[in-house]
Amino acid sequence: MTENRIATYNKLVRDKIPEIISKDGKTSEIQIASSDDAFLTFLGQKLVEESQEFSENKDPSELADILEVMLAILHLKKISFSKLEKIRLDKKEDRGGFDKRIILLSTTEPI
């Protein structure tokens, strides 16, 4: 009898991952996100995962993964990239960007 090792993920993966797993001689069990809300939840989790990976290793390919997740969210929410860019520019105008590299250490509030 052959023993199998099962790894459980329960996370969103890129479309070709099941095919890649199969080519590696393994099997996988998948499901399709049951609703837009479920898909958005998994996209949010994936965004956190990819952001954490970039934070840990600073690899630009992780930025590409973050962008891919963002584009999927925009598509799901029916928001154009140009609309997102306008929102970004409006926020930059109102609150600034990160050009000055300011690190907020603390604030003091009068009692």
* CA dist., res. 33 & res. 48, Å (int): 18
In a domain, residue 108? The reply is no
Q: What pLDDT was estimated at residue 2?
A: 75
Contacts of 49 (CB under 8 A, 6+ apart): 11
In a domain, residue 104? The reply is no
* CA dist., res. 51 & res. 68, Å (int): 12
In a domain, residue 68? The reply is yes
pLDDT band at 24 (very low <50, low <70, confident <90, very high): very high
Residue 100 in this model has a pLDDT that exceeds 90: yes
Of 81, 79, 48, nearest to 65 by C-alpha is 48
Q: What is the mean pLDDT of the chain?
A: 97
What value does the mean pLDDT take over residues 16-29?
97
pLDDT digits (tens, 9 = 90+) for 53-96: 999 999 999 999 999 999 999 999 999 999 999 999 999 999 99
* CA dist., res. 68 & res. 37, Å (int): 18
In a domain, residue 43? The reply is yes
Per the structure, the count of domains in the chain is 1
Domain holding 24, by residue range, is 1-82
Give the position of tokens 């926020």: 91
For the entire predicted model, the pTM comes to 0.89
In a domain, residue 102? The reply is no
Spatial contact of 11 and 52, defined as CB atoms under 8 Å apart: no
In a domain, residue 103? The reply is no
Torsion of CA 84, 54, 20, 28, to 10 degrees: -90
In a domain, residue 26? The reply is yes
Q: What pLDDT was estimated at residue 3?
A: 87
Q: What pLDDT was estimated at residue 70?
A: 98
